[in-house]
Structure 1
Amino acid sequence: MAPGKRASQADIAEKLGVSVSTVSRALANEIGISDAVRAEVQRVARQLGYKSKHPPVMGHLDKRALTLVPLNSAMGSLASFYHGIVAGMRAQAEEVGMVLDVRLVNEDMVSLDFIRRQIAKTGANGVILAGIDPDEDIAHWAHETGTAVVLANGTDPLMRFSSVAPANFYGAYQATQRLIDAGHRKILHYTYRHRPTILQRRRGFEAAIAANPGVTGNVVISNEHSSHDLLAALLAGDHDVTAVFCWNDGVAVGMVEALLGQDSPMPAGFSIIGFDDLPIAGMANPRLSTVRVDREALGRGVIRVLTNQLDGEAAIQQLEIGVSLVEGETVHSLD
């Protein structure tokens, strides 16, 4: 469509590869048009800025989101994390009249063909990938078809997808600075390689180290060294550090419990801090010091961003949800 030209039903029909009659009937909410086709026509009409004389159809015909949540995360140590995100999404979806179809999936199965099949089954006009990083095929398809896709607890460095995630960089910076403020000058960051969100935590750690002269930081990757290996190395004195910042609470709590059970405990003042503030952090004794992620706020933000896209917003949006320090009992002062 030429710049400045007012969108017509013919423009919508051409983009979708359907007849003008089909577009007209879909916009008029006439019978004989499937929910999926009606939703696609309405989506493209919004995207092109088409002004219809017919009122928009609200509810399930207008906004229906397919939400894919990785099964391993939903059942494993991150179960409460994703439960909170889904709870927030459901509450916000109900408020805006969006139907949310949540499906637990094996992350390895999430291919373009899989998503297409699920959309065909559900009639969804938007897709939410929770903790799932899409591949190039999905990115190309979303761009070519104009399908609204939002990453929940994810981010896309190439800015092909809108996303909502915790403020991972700044949260990690705060966690590291908390250890520095307690007098620690040699700090280890135990992290996980691959996901862009976790990489942001490493960058926050490194930025805090760089901003404090006289402080040194060491990074250990879990893909290369298990927590059991790291613990053994710490007890053997192989790492000259007085504090550890773990990329999540599950690892941090496990390390705290293991250290407490040792016959030869770590030196006085040794500190550990986590990230996420999962329920396990509050159940731990001593209570884990950590960074709190407002998971329900994250879920609500996902629906707001997706709603904007379904209403025609074309700009990629990267929304960060603020985090906060939780003063537990595992950060000790060396001063």
Structure 2
Amino acid sequence: MATQKRANQADIAERLGVSVSTVSRALANEIGISDAVRRDVQRMARTLGYKSKHNMAVVTGDKRAVALVPLGSATSGLSGFYFGIVEGMREQAAAAGMALDLRLVNESAVTLELIRKQVAQANAGGLLLAGIDGWDELAAWSTEAEVPVVLVNGSDPMMRISSVSPANYYGAYMATQRLLDAGHRKILHFTHSYRPTIRQRQRGFEQAIAKTAGAVGTVVHTGERHTKELLADLLAGKHDVTAAFIWNDIAAVEMLEGIYGVESPLPPNFSIIGFDDLPLASIATPRLSTTRVDREAIGRGAVRLLAEHMDGEMAVQQLEIGVSMVAGETVFPG
């Protein structure tokens, strides 16, 4: 059987359209070679499996990454969610020998110019964006500047930027199925449509309802009713439902007292299930039944994926982290 030819410096030079001398100097980290050329050569060497006698760790920003974490989420009820992700990032970065610069940013003010400045200030060769979805200019800049980007708890439906997120569709399907298995056939889903990740939860809910004979699903968006307004509607009997799947734990916990209070007009077996398993879900009374997201695994997966891209992997990847059900105390037989 023919053996596969080993890659050599001439192969790298041919792929990149540069001289063999340039390849040799870039691999040796010699002065006089631009950072962009050095990155190209070393990434191509890794891609082709070229074995160099030199240490191919890029001496500038190639082993440095910056992670932009949303300030609003980090200081609000979602702080537990992003704290877990950040801890996972830190753990994996330390294991991979990556210098990770974590920075809080106002997610409503994230622009391409802000991203450029943050990457330049950190001298970073890669970027993690937490809670932010991809857009055209970001994808174009990432390609042009050769700075790999990974969206953390975000997505790019056009598949130009890699991402790591919970299994939103299947998690929502499981949450809805749990209510169906308990005997409920009239179920409300409270959600919002601002982000592609959350829209996947609505899809999972609708699919579970569609597969169950006699089941009827009602969808209410945050743009139509706020949490307190929806709770008032439920207590007033405006929705003919016996259970509710709420898009996150924060909104679900806000409704618990009204649903299970002594003066609630709802039947005692009215059931509610959330999503995320935030710390507040475990201290709520009663303990919220919910869907657990492994936030640390999201952080670890994002850093691993970014490291692959920084090492030359070009394929866009959409990594989903599995979820699990938390029994809690708010799902009753229908």
TM > 0.5:
yes
Distance 1:56 1:73, change over 3 A: same
The residue number in structure 1 matching 2:11 is 6
Task: Return 5+ residue gaps in structure 1 as ranges.
Answer: 15-19
After superposition, the C-alpha distances for 1:179-205 in whole angstroms (9 at most, x for unaligned) are 001110000000011111101111000
Segment drifting more, 228-237 vs 178-187: 228-237
1:210 corresponds to which letter in structure 2? A
Distance 1:198 1:59, change over 3 A: farther
The residue number in structure 1 matching 2:173 is 173
The residue number in structure 1 matching 2:325 is 325
Structure 1 residues 131-142: aligned runs within 5 Å: 131-142=131-142
Q: Following the alignment from structure 1 to structure 2, what is the Cα–Cα distance between the partners of residues 261 and 43?
A: 61
Q: After TM superposition, give the deviation of residue 43 of structure 1 in Å.
A: 3.2
Q: After TM superposition, give the deviation of residue 117 of structure 1 in Å.
A: 1.1
The residue number in structure 2 matching 1:213 is 213
Structure 1 residues 166-245: aligned runs within 5 Å: 166-245=166-245
**SS of 2:11 mapped into structure 1:** coil
TM-score (norm 2): 0.89
Q: After TM superposition, give the deviation of residue 41 of structure 1 in Å.
A: 3.8
Distance 1:113 1:123, change over 3 A: same
Task: Return 5+ residue gaps in structure 2 as ranges.
Answer: 1-9
Q: Following the alignment from structure 1 to structure 2, what is the Cα–Cα distance between the partners of residues 99 and 287?
A: 39
Q: Following the alignment from structure 2 to structure 1, what is the Cα–Cα distance between the partners of residues 240 and 83?
A: 38
Distance 1:59 1:143, change over 3 A: closer
The residue number in structure 1 matching 2:107 is 107
TM-score (norm 1): 0.89
Q: Judge conservation of contact 1:42–1:62 (CA < 8 Å) in 2.
A: no
Does 2:43 correspond to 1:43? Answer: no
Q: Judge conservation of contact 1:275–1:292 (CA < 8 Å) in 2.
A: yes
Segment drifting more, 95-104 vs 138-147: 138-147
**SS of 2:12 mapped into structure 1:** coil
Q: After TM superposition, give the deviation of residue 12 of structure 1 in Å.
A: 7.1
Distance 1:255 1:108, change over 3 A: same
Q: Following the alignment from structure 1 to structure 2, what is the Cα–Cα distance between the partners of residues 234 and 190?
A: 12
Q: Judge conservation of contact 1:192–1:223 (CA < 8 Å) in 2.
A: yes
Q: Following the alignment from structure 2 to structure 1, what is the Cα–Cα distance between the partners of residues 255 and 160?
A: 37
Q: Following the alignment from structure 2 to structure 1, what is the Cα–Cα distance between the partners of residues 60 and 255?
A: 47
Q: After TM superposition, give the deviation of residue 7 of structure 1 in Å.
A: 2.5
Q: After TM superposition, give the deviation of residue 46 of structure 1 in Å.
A: 4.1
Q: After TM superposition, give the deviation of residue 307 of structure 1 in Å.
A: 0.9
The residue number in structure 2 matching 1:17 is none
Distance 1:274 1:59, change over 3 A: farther
1:45 corresponds to which letter in structure 2? V
Structure 1 residues 1-335: aligned runs within 5 Å: 6-8=11-13, 11=16, 26-30=26-30, 38=35, 40-48=36-44, 49=47, 51=50, 54-57=54-57, 61-261=61-261, 263-334=263-334
**SS of 2:220 mapped into structure 1:** strand
Distance 1:82 1:59, change over 3 A: farther
Distance 1:13 1:130, change over 3 A: farther
After superposition, the C-alpha distances for 1:199-233 in whole angstroms (9 at most, x for unaligned) are 11110000100110100001000122101111111
Q: After TM superposition, give the deviation of residue 55 of structure 1 in Å.
A: 2.1
After superposition, the C-alpha distances for 1:156-195 in whole angstroms (9 at most, x for unaligned) are 1110111111111111000000000111000000001111
**SS of 2:67 mapped into structure 1:** strand
Q: After TM superposition, give the deviation of residue 139 of structure 1 in Å.
A: 1.3
Q: Judge conservation of contact 1:60–1:97 (CA < 8 Å) in 2.
A: no
Q: Following the alignment from structure 1 to structure 2, what is the Cα–Cα distance between the partners of residues 42 and 139?
A: 22
Q: Following the alignment from structure 2 to structure 1, what is the Cα–Cα distance between the partners of residues 135 and 17?
A: 28
After superposition, the C-alpha distances for 1:230-264 in whole angstroms (9 at most, x for unaligned) are 11111111100000100000000111123234623
Q: Judge conservation of contact 1:12–1:45 (CA < 8 Å) in 2.
A: no
Q: Following the alignment from structure 1 to structure 2, what is the Cα–Cα distance between the partners of residues 84 and 11?
A: 41
Q: Following the alignment from structure 1 to structure 2, what is the Cα–Cα distance between the partners of residues 184 and 10?
A: 60
Q: Give the alignment's Cα RMSD to 1 decimal.
A: 2.2
Q: Following the alignment from structure 1 to structure 2, what is the Cα–Cα distance between the partners of residues 135 and 44?
A: 25
